[in-house]
Chains A and B, each alone.
Chain A
């Protein structure tokens, strides 16, 4: 008789497929996972404690580094929270620049997800194609803000710089190129039978589970819940654009894949409309007081980042530093469902499920 027993396997902090320093302690019996315990905290940098000593504008570079793949939305959530508290009006041109930056950042972030997800599953060419196209976007954002990954572009009351000459033209020419590329991605991957086998029916959860676990972003929309903060509580000028909220019904990894691919196309639609409606001239920074002191009180705002719902809570007591600053980070909440999803799965599906949740460790730990 063969005697089997359970084994503790440590998918350690340094691992190529865990998207960062993330540790999973697995109790496996052969190939089946019996229990999974995630251990996080390897990248905790104490942003919230540091922010209690800094003025609001000085916190903006720190927000870049939380979710480093979509730094523009992080910048925006802090600026939006402070602007809501002091009731500041942002000029039109600045709002359009912000929307353009955020949507281009969204496409870039989804391209990284696409490349690394398929790399984990085993395909190597989508990774290179995704990063080649991401290079175009990063160059565009580099021309706009001066950095490739940490932009530090938004300021409270507007943006730092106006778009350089010819930038809008470049964005306009980028949109049809990207559309063609996304069609190419579908051709390459979506019809692929091996990928279908590895993604359909994997990591399924129901709508009630998703809502109870406070998932957000594509993880929630893949179960059929129509919840996108850009439509539900519109912020900035998103109510001027015409785009769809992408939902699917099944709730498995295939549905998440399709949701995110479609979201890239919807972002391209927004970019196109924004470029058309772009105002000719205007200021890019509103009338901001020299030192920003929000009135005593607290505020909590939330926006839609590529990973889900990011929120920023500021408690201020009238000084120029926040009394308490807290970020509601989507990857932190999305990761809670992982132990439940992994129970009873094969080891081979671990990577497919983890990649589909789309976490960024800088955001999980914060």
Chain B
């Protein structure tokens, strides 16, 4: 059952509920308090409209590149802090009666703002509170965040790489704030193998331990993500490379780290990325005669039962 079907079903039920119930549309208090104090234990899968609409509008406006990523994070972080830290009440479990009331009012607000999304209009006379939230988001976009504690590390890595390999090896580099501020570098596909070898062998970087290698299918391209760790210097780095989706080929890292053997086979098996130079690329998880690559977004399984 897809999420749209669930949404539609719930919409139907909410319409019924709303027709029968005569709860006042005390939306303003609901909008502020709805996502903050209710413990997750009670209503985990409720359709949550206010953050829903905001995130959807934001998703439509930003694209997938990492430069806008930090902006995106900067804009969404305050909303998260507001929802998670707004009230200081201790997290006690509400009684079932009060939660039922809240779910009923939740559903009325849910139904109304779902209808709002459907109608694609922002300003309506009976909803005066909606615009201030969007205005707040626009104001906060140019705000800067504190510099990351690992920024000097990233800069020293990039400097060493550019000294020895030249300036056009890296497509971009940034700090991934979501993932414990790890320095992330994106290599160009033709210099990928050379860069990985350099990362292992240079004595200042010394990334001798390969922690993970796998692929991700974005619909326009595919990416290979490699996470490296240095046992002697205790620092990590994430290395990514963009691969063309129609003919996904990239160099294999098995000659450098033996531990990349099976993970690359797994990536080939599930996503279809060919690794040149791999000693034994084969389908290890699915059988030899499986057609298709399941983890791709456009994979159609032959037998859809459930």
Seen from chain A, the residues whose Cβ lies within 8 Å of a Cβ on chain B are 39-41, 44, 46, 48-49, 53, 55, 57, 84-88, 91, 155-157, 160, 209, 211-215, 225, 227, 232, 283, 285-291, 293-302, 309, 311, 313, 315, 317-319, 321, 323-324, 326, 328, 332-333, 335-336, 365-366
Contacts and interface: CB of A to CB of B under 8 A. Distances in A.
21 contacts: A49-B295, A91-B91, A211-B208, A214-B210, A215-B259, A225-B231, A283-B91, A285-B91, A287-B84, A288-B39, A290-B43, A290-B46, A295-B73, A295-B80, A301-B180, A302-B212, A309-B211, A324-B216, A324-B295, A326-B212, A328-B211
Interface string B206-244: 001111101011000000010100010010001000000
B117 interface: no
Interface of B: 2-3, 34-41, 43-48, 51-52, 55, 58-59, 62, 69, 72-73, 76-77, 80, 83-85, 90-92, 176-180, 182, 208-212, 214, 216-217, 225, 227, 231, 234, 238, 257-263, 266, 270, 283-287, 294-295
Nearest to B66: A297
A55 B46 CA distance: 12
B262 A87 contact: no
In the A-B complex, the 3 residue pairs with the smallest Cβ-Cβ separation, listed nearest first, are A214-B259, A299-B179, A288-B40
A193 to B, nearest CB: 35
A147 B41 CA distance: 18
A283 B93 CA distance: 10
B21 to A, nearest CB: 20
Contacts of B261: 336
A86 to B, nearest CB: 6
Please classify the interface of chain B as helix (H, G, I), strand (E, B), loop, or mixed, using the class held by over half of its residues: mixed
A290 B38 contact: yes
B58 A318 contact: yes
Contact of B40 (A41, A91, A155): A155
Contacts of B208: 211-212
Given A84-B180, A212-B208, A213-B259, 4 more contacts: A48-B270, A85-B179, A297-B69, A333-B262
Nearest to B69: A297
A293 B55 contact: yes
